[in-house]
A and B are shown apart, each in its own frame.
Chain A
Amino acid sequence: MDTTSIPINWFLMLSTALFVVGVAGVLIKKNAIIILMSIELMLNAANINLVAFSVYNNDASGQVMALVSIGLAAAEVALGLAILLNLNKLRDTVNVDDLSILRW
């Protein structure tokens, strides 16, 4: 890795911040669509890590993993939106607090 490029720490800080925002979003937000977006943030934080480490370790496999995981994330969103659409059709809500039929 050449010395002029950005130090690895900066990438790690960015990805950690994104990941924390994602986890906080999943835990705090009530709207299932926003929760889905927060999950995307978590996955993208991991992708930043993979690409940064791939350059830093001089090993291309990290970038391949990032590409595969982008594909996985896309599939997950498509499926997630379909499930939420169906939920919205049945219950007329995507608020996770209203999902209380199944408990104890």
Chain B
Amino acid sequence: MVDYTAITPEIVLALFALAVPALGMVMRSSKVLAAFSLVGVALTGLSVWMITDGYSGPVAFQDFVVVEEFSLLFMYIFLAVAFYVILASAVYVKDDKHKPEYYSLILMATVGMLFVASASDLFALFVGIELTSMSSYALVAFKKKDVKSAEAATKYLIIGGLSSGFSLFGISLMYGFTGTTSFSGINDYLSTLGAENIEMVWLAMIMIVVGFGFKISMVPFHMWAPDVYEGAPTPITAMLAAGSKKMGFVAMFKFFLIGLIAIKADWQLLMAVMAVVTMTAGNLIALNQTSMKRMLAYSSIAQAGYILMVIPVATDYALAGGLFQILTHAFMKGGAFIIVATLAVAAVGDKISDYKGLAKRTPFLAIAMTLFMLSLAGIPPLAGFASKFFLFSAPIEAMGGGNDWLMWLAVAGILNSALSLFYYVRVIKYMLVEKGETEEKLKLPMSMMAAVAICLVAVIVMGVYPEPFYQACLDAAKSFFTFLA
């Protein structure tokens, strides 16, 4: 008898993804379909909770899925993202002909993310990534009459295809060389291997880094991100930035910190340089953006650089800091994108200058946006400060034993945060200080305000009481590393 416990969340969510179009045959109301999808996400959350409750050790399905604390944490993050994205979409797509497919695709993308969170095998992880990517190509192309959406989808499709080609070729080389695709199997093989035989592993590693690098928009593989983020329907942009990109990080963490940890000395410096280049380039280009969505996209690239810092440091404190940063970023960046979507519904453009005098027109959203911006910049007592604090202190903690150079990672991170403050504060200045052309109050849909409120509460609570959240991340990180042995 096969034990399906480990994949119940995926099964439940996939069933709902299939049921939404069926329901769409009889009910055309966007609200009903959104509510049904939300029930699906909530029930999936319940099934994840059933694994968490009375958790006594990793639960495996066959030999390619293992659910442990690290996976559970990410499942909650992905489900939370799906929840607020669906909530924000209810009004956003209400006049579209293909609403059922829209919700179905969001749920399917989330199924892929859940698979990536629990995959213990390189190929299973690849299939999960593909499931999410393909659903998101279709979602980016969703506004069929919009030229921007079509262009963004084409770019996303080509870059995504290129990236999966690279990853699959790398995976095939890794499989040929080590004879296995399971992360712990790769690690076992590499730890018995002498230093002279690793050229082939390097080749496979570079291919896979290029493939996954596109997914997390690591510089120099970031060019697609701003275009796609700008062209996609804005709730989908929130999902790409808060969900799909985080999935890329799960893949990176599993690949490097479980699969390749035995040859850490070989890739440590490379990844450190990549992290610093990514955060610096993201912040510098964000400085002179005029479109809100593009600015947030470049800020996402910079945040990816901060999170990449985890890989060269490779201690459980670093991973805990990275997980916490991912958790807070999912809410502050997602929340900011949903505000952009909400304002778009009320016909406010997505240029930063369109946000002039917003405080008069919609005080709640202006204050929420201010808090998200301050949190992204890392101002206490908001969530972004807490997570950056834990993340940047990890390289300092890991110093010693020839690793003193890791300190420069923290220095680069802090300098970059200071740099990023400039473009975040500019938005706040436009909203609160400058006078807009009109002071007419905006009529905004309640469901989108609710999605913003969820993100806002999360950002404030995680900033004021970071301990329980950080503890959960630390437990997940410890479980992640003991999973190695």
Contact = CB atoms under 8 A, between A and B. Distances in A.
A60 interface: no
Contacts of B151: 87, 91, 99, 101-102
Given A90-B147, A90-B150, A101-B151, A49 B158 contact: no
B94 to A, nearest CB: 22
Contacts of B148: 101-102
Contact of B169 (A42, A52, A87): A42
A76 B161 contact: yes
Contact of B179 (A39, A57, A82, A86): A57
B101 to A, nearest CB: 12
Contacts of B153: 83, 86-87
B97 interface: no
A26 B164 contact: no
A46 B150 contact: no
A52 B161 CA distance: 23
A96 interface: yes
Given A42-B169, A49-B169, A102-B227, A80 B176 contact: no
B154 A72 contact: no
Interface centre among A62, A76, A96 (most CB of B within 10 A): A76
Nearest to B285: A104
A74 to B, nearest CB: 11
Classify the interface of chain A: helix, strand, loop or mixed. Answer: helix
Interface in B155-176: 155, 157-158, 161-162, 164-166, 168-169, 171-173, 175-176
B154 A99 contact: yes
Given A83-B141, A99-B151, A65 B181 contact: yes
B354 to A, nearest CB: 18
Nearest to A91: B147
Contact of A79 (B138, B155, B173, B231): B138
Contact of A57 (B144, B169, B176, B231): B176
Given A50-B175, A72-B130, A87-B150, A32 B158 contact: yes
Given A83-B150, A101-B147, A53 B175 contact: yes
A68 B123 CA distance: 10
A42 B145 contact: no
B169 A45 contact: yes
Given A19-B169, A83-B150, A43 B164 contact: yes
Interface in A52-72: 52-53, 56-57, 59, 61-62, 65, 68-69, 72
Residue of A57, A79, A82 contacting most chain B CB atoms (<10 Å)? A79
Contacts of B162: 23, 26, 39, 42
Pick the most buried of B145, B150, B161, B226: most chain A CB atoms within 10 A of its CB. B161
B78 interface: no
Interface in B465-485: none
Contacts of A36: 157-158, 161
B181 A61 contact: yes
B127 interface: yes
A38 B43 CA distance: 41
Given A50-B172, A80-B161, A90 B166 contact: no
A18 B148 CA distance: 33
Contact of B165 (A22, A49, A91): A22
B175 A62 contact: yes
Contacts of B169: 15, 19, 42, 45-46, 49
B123 A65 contact: yes
Most buried by B among A43, A65, A101: A65
Interface string B228-246: 0011000000000000000
B345 interface: no
Contacts of A87: 150-151, 153-154
A6 to B, nearest CB: 15
A56 B96 CA distance: 52
Contacts of B230: 102
B91 interface: no
10 contacts: A26-B165, A32-B154, A43-B165, A49-B169, A57-B179, A62-B172, A72-B164, A79-B137, A79-B157, A102-B230
Interface of B: 123, 127, 130, 134, 137-138, 141, 144-145, 147-148, 150-155, 157-158, 161-162, 164-166, 168-169, 171-173, 175-176, 179, 181, 226-227, 230-231, 294
Q: Please provide the 5 A-B residue pairs with the shortest distance between their CB atoms, ordered closest to farther.
A: A42-B165, A53-B176, A49-B172, A39-B161, A46-B168
